[in-house]
Amino acid sequence: MGHPFPIREIARQAGLSEATVDRVLNGRGGVRESTAREVQQAIADLDRQRTQVRLMGRTFMIDMVVQAPERFTTAVRAALESELPSLHPAVVRSRFHFRETGPVQELTRTLDRIARRGSQGVILKAPDVPEVTAAVARLAEAGIPVVTLVTDLPATARLAYVGIDNRAAGATAAYLMGQWLGDRPGNVLTSLSSGFFRNEEEREMGFRSAMRTLHPERTLVEIAEGQGLDATQYDLVRAALERDPDIRAVYSIGGGNIATLRAFEDAGRDCAVFIAHDLDHDNTRLLREHRLSAVLHHDLRQDMREACHAVMRAHGALPPAGVTMPSPIQVVTPYNMPF
């Protein structure tokens, strides 16, 4: 039973004699199983309290750098701020660097300013391009851990990734799409905000692979580079509908769903099944109105908590963790909305 605590400290925590604790730790006989459990619990309690002591009075300044539509960055900010009390006794302060779109050079300039100024950690959602890879390397050289959020940068020096298994999410969308379309004919529109975000690419690959296996008769029509913004999304969807009169369903990987539905309405077309991602304020309203079939969602608060814990572990304030599992994928319909 490995532990760093003196027998006297364990005995005091457990309310037992030092001799009893010594017998338990060294596997000698004459000790009841319940007493052994009390010793084990005392060690676990001491270990947890030691962690609390390490965190006491520590302040972690974390920079959040996110390229995404405003509806997503609003949800991210709210998730982090909701989790701050659970991170006590440590204090986490955050600086937000949000942008909807723009040249990658502006993004890398932001990351380089953080590297020069200093930070305890960066939580990053960014496109997977060489310029970002190089900027993350410069952060690592400056001793600043980077945690990727929602979309990974596996070829970089990032510390960890938090979010869902995006391939599994895409395959889940394909399964639901097939079940709900049933025998009705029709092609499926897949919509990405950008081909440079790995999470969207992985969702699309998971969706396409599962559809090819489960429903090879259906044609997938892809649009991309709408940046998840309604202003650009509408024109892309409207053009796709004009080109293909057989589109009857949508898998929205990158957002812009209000514009997508408006394009269907303006074209006089019915959308039989519409599957989207993330319970942001737009999708929440569309679900309540029964204009979306389902939203594939994951708990952003859990992601924020795990990202902050990863930064704390990098600074030795928390013990090393085991294998980190992806966030669970929740299938939310108009009938099981969590709020």
- pLDDT (average), residues 174-190: 96
pTM attached to this predicted model: 0.81
Pairing of strands 294-297, 330-332: antiparallel
CA 34 to chain centre: 41
- pLDDT (average), residues 175-184: 96
Between the alpha carbon of residue 229 and those of residues 25, 197, 234, 266, the distances in Å are: 61, 15, 9, 18
Q: In this predicted structure, what is the pLDDT of residue 49?
A: 61
Q: Is the pLDDT of residue 34 over 80?
A: yes
Pairing of strands 160-162, 187-191: unpaired
Q: Is the pLDDT of residue 2 over 60?
A: no
- Lowest model confidence (mean pLDDT) among 4-13, 173-182, 190-199: 4-13
Q: In this predicted structure, what is the pLDDT of residue 52?
A: 54
> Biggest alpha carbon distance in the chain?
83
Q: Is the pLDDT of residue 113 over 70?
A: yes
Q: In this predicted structure, what is the pLDDT of residue 125?
A: 97
Q: Provide the edge-to-edge strand list for the sheet that holds 121-125.
A: 91-99, 59-67, 121-125, 146-149, 160-162
- pLDDT (average), residues 175-197: 94
Q: Is the pLDDT of residue 48 over 70?
A: no
